[in-house]
């Protein structure tokens, strides 16, 4: 999608549709100051007639407005002016995107980035506008014989009355557009069925990204290579599958070699049956989404390659398929991780932490500034936080605070859960250094406690995206979260 900043008076700009906001008190925002008085009176009459009240979620299309070059005007409800915060702003943008798609408009002129959003600067307003509008054009077609109609919207002009904000607005649009591209990759990888999106396929996608970007170096480790490195925990998860496991390493080098990298590690279970601890059949098809942590890493690396910031980032994907068979790991088996710690596998459906722990040991070699792992790790996180907030746990308060703050900034929110020593005791084992589950209580927290045993040499945070990575029901599909959160954190460095 092409985003262009326009500073001319709105009535002088040619567009298929001019989008204006309306507050619930039937007042037009200050951004309409660029509209001449005659048109303003016309719009006020329409609003006073009650065709639109300004309630959030409303939209009204006006054809052939007089005294303006736009072919149409779309009025969008914003709710109460004094309540317009980031979440309501994003909701208005999503409503606008849906309305534009409904009318199959190829281009539009938006004034919404000039709205007075609480505690939000120009850069972020333009960033979220580009991110939401471009993300709205994603469609899944890969496995459909009849491809769905491609979104018509290709060109978006964005009004800017304060020319001193031009640089911030342009930067925001560029970041938002690149984040949306990363989200599209994450959504596509998550939505693909497991008979296509295998560990090998993930490795191929990472290699393809590396071939097309000079700043990215990609390596894909085979099972034989991982075996030589002692990754017995990761390899144990794929024992029951005919699909080989992979460790995928992507090195984005936008800064000097002396600059410490930030590392992101994704859980890539391309399908999770639960293994010998077999899951119920109901909704098991959604276990293709169990690699959404890996998808978010691939999406974030895609966004970085598009934006080309001067930072260093390592993206690691621990990929495996968890299947039952005569070769599969059994409850009670003991495996040895790359760190040398032994693990008693009490439940083979707690497999995400088994692949992640070896990846978290592997990344020590980079002497990282920070490490964030992203995983659809526990159903308990859905019980605790639903599909609103991503679960956040960390061994470093500063890192946790930054992630929380950045999530609020881009409306990709997370919520921190405790991870104190009392929870660690639930992982005690009579037969190994650690058990892979800690019983029915505090399952999200004890999963993070398990991972923390392998992250003692660097600042680390764990994002449990089990509730936020995909939607169920009629809107079933991957969301692309937490690519916006990850990008906001990485760019802040």
Q: Render pLDDT for 290-334 as a digit per residue (tens, 0 to 9).
A: 999 999 999 999 999 999 999 999 999 999 999 999 999 999 999
Average pLDDT value for residue range 100-111: 93
Separation between Cα atoms, residue 147 and residue 161, nearest integer Å: 41
pLDDT for 455 beyond 70: yes
Q: 100 with 18: CB under 8 angstroms?
A: no
Task: Count Cβ neighbours within 10 Å for each residue of 407-440 and write b for 16 or more, e otherwise.
Answer: bbbbbbbbebbebeeebbebbeeeebbbbbbbee
Which alpha helices (DSSP H) does 49-121 contain, by range? 86-102
Separation between Cα atoms, residue 450 and residue 455, nearest integer Å: 10
pLDDT for 67? 79
Q: 202 with 317: CB under 8 angstroms?
A: yes
Average pLDDT value for residue range 371-400: 98
User: How close are the terminal C-alpha atoms of the chain, in Å?
Assistant: 27
Helix (H) or strand (E) holding 179, with range, is helix 166-191
pLDDT for 50? 84
pLDDT for 49? 85
pLDDT for 30? 64
Q: 414 with 403: CB under 8 angstroms?
A: yes
pLDDT for 25 beyond 80: no
Separation between Cα atoms, residue 271 and residue 268, nearest integer Å: 9
* Closest C-alpha to 392, from 405, 403, 376: 403
Q: Domains in the chain, ordered, with CATH?
A: 2-160 (3.40.220.10), 181-492 (3.40.630.10)
pLDDT for 394 beyond 70: yes
pLDDT for 27? 73
pLDDT for 490? 98
DSSP label at residue 361: H
Q: Which of 86, 187, 353, 453 is catalytic?
A: 353
Q: 355 with 318: CB under 8 angstroms?
A: yes
Its sign, for the CA torsion 30, 36, 37, 38, is negative
Its sign, for the CA torsion 348, 349, 352, 353, is negative
Quick one: what percent of the chain has pLDDT higher than 90?
89
pLDDT for 68 beyond 90: no
User: How far, rounded to the nearest angstrom, does the alpha carbon of residue 14 sit from its chain's CA centroid?
Assistant: 35
DSSP label at residue 108: E
Active site residue 353: yes
Phi-psi region of 292 (alpha: psi -120 to 50; beta: other; left: phi over 0): alpha
- Peptide bond connecting 105 to the previous residue in cis, omega within 30 degrees of 0: no
Average pLDDT value for residue range 411-419: 98
- Report residue 280 as tokens: 């119920």
pLDDT bracket for residue 65 (50, 70, 90): confident
pLDDT bracket for residue 66 (50, 70, 90): confident
More confident residue, 403 or 39: 403
User: Residue 401 contacts by C-beta under 8 Å, 6 or more apart in sequence?
Assistant: none
Average pLDDT value for residue range 274-299: 97
Q: 317 with 206: CB under 8 angstroms?
A: yes
- Report residue 325 as tokens: 């068979």
pLDDT for 145 beyond 70: yes
pLDDT for 28? 75
pLDDT for 375? 98
Separation between Cα atoms, residue 369 and residue 363, nearest integer Å: 11
DSSP label at residue 311: -
Average pLDDT value for residue range 98-102: 93
Q: Which of 139, 155, 279, 341 is catalytic?
A: 279
Average pLDDT value for residue range 1-25: 92
Average pLDDT value for residue range 381-408: 98
pLDDT for 493? 84
Neighbours of 453 (CB within 10 A): 18
Q: 422 with 445: CB under 8 angstroms?
A: no
User: Residue 217 contacts by C-beta under 8 Å, 6 or more apart in sequence?
Assistant: 210, 250, 251, 253
**What pLDDT, in 10s, does the model give residues 150-196?**
889 999 999 999 999 999 999 999 999 999 999 999 999 999 999 99
């Amino acid at each position: 999608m092409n985003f262009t900043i326009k500073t001319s008076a709105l009535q002088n700009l040619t567009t298929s549709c001019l989008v204006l906001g309306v507050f619930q008190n039937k007042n037009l925002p200050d951004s309409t100051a660029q509209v001449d008085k005659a048109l303003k009176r016309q719009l006020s009459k329409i609003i006073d007639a009650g065709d639109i009240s300004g309630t959030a979620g409303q939209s009204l299309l006006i054809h052939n407005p007089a005294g303006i070059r736009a072919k149409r005007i779309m009025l969008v409800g914003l709710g109460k002016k004094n309540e317009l915060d980031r979440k309501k702003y994003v909701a208005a943008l999503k409503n606008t995107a849906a309305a534009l798609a409904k009318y199959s408009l190829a281009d539009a002129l938006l004034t919404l980035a000039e709205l007075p959003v609480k505690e939000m600067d120009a850069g972020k307003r333009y960033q979220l506008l580009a991110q939401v509008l471009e993300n709205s054009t994603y469609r899944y077609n890969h496995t459909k014989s009849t491809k769905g109609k491609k979104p018509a919207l290709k060109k978006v002009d964005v009004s800017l009355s304060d020319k001193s904000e031009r640089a911030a607005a342009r930067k925001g649009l560029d970041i938002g557009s690149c984040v949306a591209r990363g989200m599209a990759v994450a959504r596509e990888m998550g939505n693909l069925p497991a008979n296509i999106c295998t560990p090998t396929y993930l490795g191929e996608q990472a290699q393809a990204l590396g071939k097309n970007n000079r700043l990215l170096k990609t390596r894909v480790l085979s099972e034989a290579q991982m075996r030589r490195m002692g990754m017995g925990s990761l390899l144990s998860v794929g024992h029951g599958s005919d699909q080989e496991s992979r460790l995928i390493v992507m090195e984005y080098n936008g800064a000097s070699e002396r600059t410490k990298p930030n590392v992101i590690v994704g859980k890539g279970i391309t399908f999770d049956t639960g293994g010998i601890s077999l899951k119920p059949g109901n909704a098991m098809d959604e276990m293709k989404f169990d690699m959404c942590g890996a998808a978010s890493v691939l999406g974030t690396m895609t966004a970085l390659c598009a934006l080309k910031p001067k930072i260093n980032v390592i993206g690691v994907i621990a990929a495996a398929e968890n299947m039952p068979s005569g070769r599969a790991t059994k409850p009670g088996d003991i495996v040895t991780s790359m760190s040398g710690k032994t693990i008693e596998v009490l439940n083979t459906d707690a497999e995400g932490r088994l692949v992640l722990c070896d990846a978290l040991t592997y990344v020590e070699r980079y002497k990282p500034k920070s490490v964030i792992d992203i995983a659809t790790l526990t159903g308990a996180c859905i019980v605790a936080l639903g599909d609103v907030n991503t679960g956040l746990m960390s061994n470093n308060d500063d890192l946790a605070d930054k992630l929380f703050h950045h999530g609020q900034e881009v409306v990709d929110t997370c919520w921190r859960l405790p991870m104190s020593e009392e929870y660690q005791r639930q992982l005690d084992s009579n037969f190994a250094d650690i058990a892979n589950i800690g019983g029915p209580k505090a399952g999200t927290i004890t999963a993070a406690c398990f991972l923390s045993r392998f992250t003692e040499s660097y600042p680390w945070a764990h994002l449990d995206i089990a509730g936020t990575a995909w939607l169920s029901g009629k809107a079933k599909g991957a969301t692309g979260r937490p690519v916006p959160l990850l990008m906001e954190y990485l760019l802040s460095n």
